């Protein structure tokens, strides 16, 4: 297996991008990534494109070929990866494996979603397909409802409070206020969260990630060749993935995502690091309870202790562990097919020292955690500054 590096990154602003369609978002992020990597289209050997529901949201299937087309990559093989909200992380893993295994040298991995061209009801139905359609969606439960069940159980078992849930949103909006790519750049308070409309008790509007448009692209290369393309390549030290039951009712516990625990364990082992070695983490905060559970599943805090730690500021920027410096899904936005790639872009920016106001001091090791559905898929990557 060869060492793999990220040599190029590209990102669009996330949000309600009425002025741009799916192809424009792809082109913007893709051209930025190729330019950042200082490569020409003829160098690219394969494209992995991720999207969850482009057909439902934008009427466009065959997205990987469109991504290659918009980037000027004629005749380059292109493959679409769909793994619900973990589509981006899964695509990154496929690109990583292709380079690590020596099959390809230069690989483009891109993610995109254009979600705002449909009604909220239509978007909710499309997103519901990330769960068990027959046993969950058809019975009337939504994704806020599934995560509300997890939140209620976490509150029951560990005494987690609504104020602690709200503190996740407050922290991530604070970080997003420093990020020019973020959908929400306005700071909020715990009171703002608690007074926002209830979506599914105990989750309120400000506990939930938004419907977003956006795209993100990275370029991968073997580490030994990486400096031909970029002066500050970032090594992917580990890529790990695991699955669990699609239906929430069949999980061992409602207060954990077992797939995330397994994926994290594999990533730490491969990268030869432990949770205490991680300087920053981009985790999948589709709902505030999801970030709390992620902090525990990834081994950063003991079970039942993360909510209090976040409330007390232990995961704020340049604290014990800087979490969701981009603003996360909650503040930066959540165009589902792009999210896992955006997480990688943020970590690369941090490890390069290019994150501006939200820069993590002495950032050396970063982690991304991308979850599909209510936890049926989890992908964890660990990245390091290259020597």
DSSP string, 129-187: TTS-TTTTGGGT--HHHHHHHHHHHHHHHH---HHHHHHHHHHHHHHHTT-TT-S----
Query: What percent of the chain lies above the pLDDT cut of 90?
Result: 93
What pLDDT is stored for residue 251 in this prediction?
Answer: 95
pLDDT at 387 over 80: no
| Set 173, 334, 369, 381: catalytic member | 334
Average pLDDT over residues 53-78: 93
pLDDT at 212 over 90: yes
Please write the tens of the pLDDT for every residue from 251-282: 999 999 999 999 999 999 999 999 999 999 99
Query: What percent of the chain lies above the pLDDT cut of 70?
Result: 100
- Reported confidence tier of residue 288, pLDDT bands at 50, 70, 90: very high
Return the SS3 of 373.
coil
Average pLDDT over residues 163-189: 98
20 is annotated as an active-site residue:
no
85 is annotated as an active-site residue:
yes
| Set 85, 208, 286, 332: catalytic member | 85
What pLDDT is stored for residue 124 in this prediction?
Answer: 87
Average pLDDT over residues 74-103: 97
Q: How far is CA 244 from CA 288, 304, 329, in A?
A: 21, 21, 22
**0.95 exceeded by pTM:** yes
Domains observed in the chain? 4-119+211-234 (3.40.47.10), 126-209+236-385 (3.40.47.10)
What pLDDT is stored for residue 211 in this prediction?
Answer: 95
Instruction: Identify how many contiguous H helices and E strands the chain contains and give both numbers.
Output: 13, 12
Burial of residue 174 (number of CB atoms within 10 Å: 0-12, 13-18, 19+) = middle
pLDDT at 66 over 80: yes
What pLDDT is stored for residue 364 in this prediction?
Answer: 97
pLDDT at 336 over 80: yes
Return the SS3 of 122.
helix
Mean pLDDT of the chain, nearest integer: 96
What pLDDT is stored for residue 41 in this prediction?
Answer: 87
What pLDDT is stored for residue 386 in this prediction?
Answer: 80
Burial of residue 273 (number of CB atoms within 10 Å: 0-12, 13-18, 19+) = middle
Average pLDDT over residues 306-330: 98
pLDDT at 286 over 90: yes
What pLDDT is stored for residue 50 in this prediction?
Answer: 97
- Reported confidence tier of residue 111, pLDDT bands at 50, 70, 90: very high
DSSP letter at 216 equals E
> What residue ranges in 75-229 does DSSP mark as E strands?
78-81, 107-114, 198-200, 203-204, 213-222
CA distance 364 to 353: 10
Please write the tens of the pLDDT for every residue from 216-227: 999 999 999 999
pLDDT at 185 over 80: yes
DSSP letter at 355 equals -
pLDDT at 328 over 90: yes
Average pLDDT over residues 373-379: 97
What pLDDT is stored for residue 138 in this prediction?
Answer: 86
């Amino acid at each position: 297996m060869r060492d793999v590096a990220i040599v190029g990154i590209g990102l669009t602003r996330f949000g309600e991008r009425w002025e741009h369609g799916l192809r424009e978002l792809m082109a913007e992020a893709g051209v930025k990534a190729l330019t950042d990597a200082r490569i020409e289209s003829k160098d690219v050997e394969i494209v992995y494109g991720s999207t969850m529901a482009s057909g439902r949201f934008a009427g466009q299937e065959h997205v990987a070929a469109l991504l290659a087309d918009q980037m000027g990559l004629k005749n380059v093989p292109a493959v679409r990866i769909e793994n619900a909200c973990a589509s981006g992380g899964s695509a990154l893993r496929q690109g990583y494996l292709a380079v690590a295994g020596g099959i390809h040298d230069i690989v483009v991995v891109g993610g995109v979603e254009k979600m705002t061209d449909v009604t909220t009801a239509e978007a909710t139905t499309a997103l519901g397909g990330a769960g068990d359609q027959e046993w969950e969606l058809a019975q009337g439960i939504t994704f806020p409802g599934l995560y509300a069940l997890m939140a209620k159980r976490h509150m029951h078992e560990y005494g987690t409070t609504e104020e602690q849930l709200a503190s996740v949103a407050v922290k991530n909006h604070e970080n997003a206020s420093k990020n020019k790519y973020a959908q929400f750049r306005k700071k909020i308070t715990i009171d703002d969260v608690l007074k926002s409309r209830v979506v599914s008790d105990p989750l309120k509007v400000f506990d939930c990630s938004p419907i977003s448009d956006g795209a993100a692209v990275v370029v991968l290369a073997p580490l030994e060749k990486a400096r031909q393309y970029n002066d500050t390549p970032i090594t992917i030290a580990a890529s790990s993935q695991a699955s669990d039951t699609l239906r929430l009712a069949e999980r061992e516990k409602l207060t954990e995502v077992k797939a995330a625990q397994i994926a994290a364990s594999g990533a730490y082992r491969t990268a030869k690091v432990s949770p205490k070695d991680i300087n920053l983490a981009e985790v999948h905060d589709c709902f505030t309870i999801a970030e709390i559970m992620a902090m525990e599943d990834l081994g950063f805090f003991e079970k039942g202790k993360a909510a209090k730690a976040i409330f007390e500021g232990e995961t704020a920027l340049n604290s014990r562990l800087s979490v969701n410096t981009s603003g996360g899904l909650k503040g930066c936005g959540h165009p589902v097919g792009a999210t896992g790639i955006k997480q990688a872009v943020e970590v690369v920016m941090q490890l390069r020292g290019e994150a501006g106001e939200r820069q993590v001091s002495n950032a050396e090791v970063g982690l991304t955690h991308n979850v599909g559905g209510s936890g049926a898929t989890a992908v964890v990557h660990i990245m390091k500054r290259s020597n």
